[in-house]
Amino acid sequence: MNPQAKLIFVISLILGTTITISSNHWVMAWTGLEINTLAILPLISKSHHPRAIEAATKYFLTQAAASALVLFSSMSNAWQTGQWDITQLTDPMSCTIFTAAIAIKLGLVPFHFWFPEVLQGSPLTTGLALATIMKLPPITLMFMTSGSLNPIMLTTMAIMSTALGGWMGLNQTQIRKILAFSSISHLGWMTIILIYNPKLTLLNFYLYTVMTAATFLTLNSMKALKLSTLMTSWTKSPT
């Protein structure tokens, strides 16, 4: 990929994240999410491999659906309450729709099917962005609306994510898929903490980001994509 084009996409990614986490109006938050989605797509599909194109298509479709639900929930909330402020999400139906939208964005069970497939089709550096930077805007929106989200729905999805993430990861040989299920499990823990103490969720997310970055960058330096490669990598890279 052209370095200038790559720079533009990376700057757009940072810009989209910044817009979402610093906005207090629903339309601005939605705009940031859309910029993020459009900026990561060329980075996923840069290898032009059919698997990468498939991953980019799956990512685009799921994120577009989730963004549409975010916009729909905010519009229905504004229709009922006259408020466009993110923290003023009070309409019960809007809260339920928004909870589902954020679950799709993050890849919580039962909306998790896209995440392992997309991560498997992406390069490790893009996979790192998908597992960390791309999770920050939805986590921030969850943090800002934590008092309004549907607690029963959130708890159910969190428990399912924690259980299924750990269980499905045992059955994989592809490292990126193992990391994807690990991410789903971590997000389950973050979601269940959010109901009781939202600030601890952010702390958990920061620790998760540091650990995930260390793992992805180490694997990238070894060029390890399968467990079989990882088992023999000590001969090539003792460190």
DSSP for 99-136 reads: HHHHHHHHT-TTS-THHHHHHHTS-HHHHHHHHTGGGH
User: Taking residues 206-222, what's their average pLDDT?
Assistant: 94
Residue 14: pLDDT over 80: yes
Containing domain of residue 13, as a range? 3-225
| 203 lies in some domain | yes
User: Taking residues 95-109, what's their average pLDDT?
Assistant: 94
User: Taking residues 126-135, what's their average pLDDT?
Assistant: 94
Residue 220, SS3 per DSSP: helix
Q: Which residues contact 4 (CB under 8 A, 6 or more apart)?
A: none
Asked if residues 108 and 184 have their Cβ atoms less than 8 Å apart, the reply is yes
Q: What pLDDT is stored for residue 167 in this prediction?
A: 93
Task: Write the DSSP symbol of residue 184.
Answer: H
CA distance 74 to 91: 9
| 237 lies in some domain | no
Q: What pLDDT is stored for residue 117 in this prediction?
A: 94
In angstroms, what is the C-alpha Rg of the chain?
18
β-pair partners for 226: 174
| 230 lies in some domain | no
| 164 lies in some domain | yes
Residue 227's pLDDT band (cuts 50, 70, 90): confident
What's phi and psi for 25, nearest 5 deg? -115, 135
| 201 lies in some domain | yes
| 236 lies in some domain | no
Residue 85, SS3 per DSSP: strand
Residue 64, SS3 per DSSP: helix
Residue 223's pLDDT band (cuts 50, 70, 90): confident
CA distance 42 to 11: 13
Q: What pLDDT is stored for residue 12 in this prediction?
A: 96
Distances (CA, A) of 134 to 19, 117, 226: 13, 16, 24
pTM score, whole prediction: 0.92
Number of structural domains (the chain) is 1
Hey, what amino acid is at 218? T
| 178 lies in some domain | yes
- How many Cβ atoms are within 10 Å of 167's Cβ, its own excluded? 11
Q: Which residues contact 206 (CB under 8 A, 6 or more apart)?
A: none
CA distance 239 to 233: 10
